[in-house]
Amino acid sequence: MHESKLHRQVEPRLREAEVRYTKGRRVIVEELATSDGPRSAAELHADLGATVPISSIYRTLAVLEESGIVTPHFATKGIARYELAEWLTGHHHHLVCVDCGAVEDVDVPDGYEEQVRILVSDIAGVARFTPTNHALEIEGLCKDCA
């Protein structure tokens, strides 16, 4: 996705939330857009060469989460990783390496995704649960750790 297009999508959403789209926030959004999986605050801090204080990263992520720009992800013990929300990136699932903890995004072919949607609504119906989203986490060994 082109950065400018991304910013054009994010900006109105933040304006609606009465939050400024500042340079610091743009940097985080761009960094998340170029990652191929969710990133933790510490990883973003390193990615950006420690140019942004860790506290600002946490604060920015909190603001972006509240505005629906990013979503948190908790597959690994003790740390939260964030990625751009699905309305920006499209629906996808995760490959979680049980060895090194890396998380990679994967797209699911439409036919399969349809099956999953049916499955989810059936299961939820039986349990009197109102589903809003679903996540298929595939655990295993990534190509580096295999």
Considering only residues 87 to 126 of the shown chain, the ones binding DNA according to CB under 7 A are none
Q: What are phi and psi of 101, to 5 degrees?
A: 85, -5
130 binds, among DNA, a copy of itself, none (CB under 5 to 8 A by kind): a copy of itself
CA angle 4, 95, 146 (to 5 degrees): 125
**Distance separating alpha carbons of residues 10 and 137, to the nearest angstrom:** 27
Judged by CB under 7 A, does residue 40 bind DNA? yes
- Residues whose CB is less than 8 angstroms from the CB of residue 68 and which lie 6 or more positions away in sequence, other chains included: 13, 17, 85, 87
User: Residue from 41, 70, 97, 103 that binds DNA (CB under 7 A)?
Assistant: 41
Sign of the dihedral through C-alpha 49, 51, 55, 59: negative
> Which residue's CB is nearer to DNA, number 25 or number 93?
25
Cβ 125 vs Cβ 104: under 8 Å: no
Judged by CB under 7 A, does residue 44 bind DNA? no
Cβ at position 100, least distance to a copy of itself in Å: 12
Residues of the shown chain interacting with a copy of itself in the complex, contacts defined by CB under 8 A: 72, 74-78, 80, 93, 95, 98, 104, 106, 108, 112, 115-116, 119-120, 122-124, 126-143, 146
Residues of the shown chain interacting with DNA in the complex, contacts defined by CB under 7 A: 18-20, 22-25, 40-42, 52-56, 58-63, 77-80
